[in-house]
């Protein structure tokens, strides 16, 4: 699918307007370089809305020329930090059990 030369704002389809709605909703909470098609599709899933195709999302973002995350896998810097694991707890020492005498 080719990217149009100019984006016609007056001829937005419903899917295109929803993609832009999702982008600008994420834009308020995140850095623009951390928003990509995956994050937009997740936004739709979180709201239990029918998500458009990923290729349409990419085409719309490229046509509008908004700042966004590049293609490929996200870098480690853009991922959310994992929650810290709980501190180690001390284990109470156990006394060894005595051996039973063999029956004879």
pLDDT at 82: 67
Global model pTM greater than 0.85: no
Mean pLDDT by 10 residues, the chain (104 residues): 60 88 90 84 92 88 75 62 69 72 64
* Burial readout 29-59 (b: 16 or more C-beta within 10 A, e: otherwise): eeeeebbbbebbbebbeeeeeebbeeebbbb
pLDDT at 36: 83
Spell out the domains of the chain, with CATH numbers in brackets: 15-72 (1.10.10)
Region class of 94: left (phi > 0), else alpha (psi between -120 and 50), else beta: beta
The residue written with tokens 């080719």 in the block is 2
pLDDT at 25: 92
């Amino acid at each position: 699918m080719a990217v149009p030369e100019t984006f016609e704002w007056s001829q937005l389809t419903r899917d295109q307007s929803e993609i832009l709605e999702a982008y600008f909703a994420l834009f308020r909470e995140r850095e623009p370089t951390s928003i990509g098609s995956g994050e937009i599709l997740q936004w739709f899933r979180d709201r239990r809305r029918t998500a458009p195709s990923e290729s349409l999302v990419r085409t719309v973002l490229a046509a509008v020329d908004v700042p966004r995350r590049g293609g490929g896998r996200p870098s480690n810097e853009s991922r959310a930090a994992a929650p810290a694991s709980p501190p180690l707890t001390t284990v109470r020492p156990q006394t060894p059990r005595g051996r039973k005498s063999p029956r004879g």
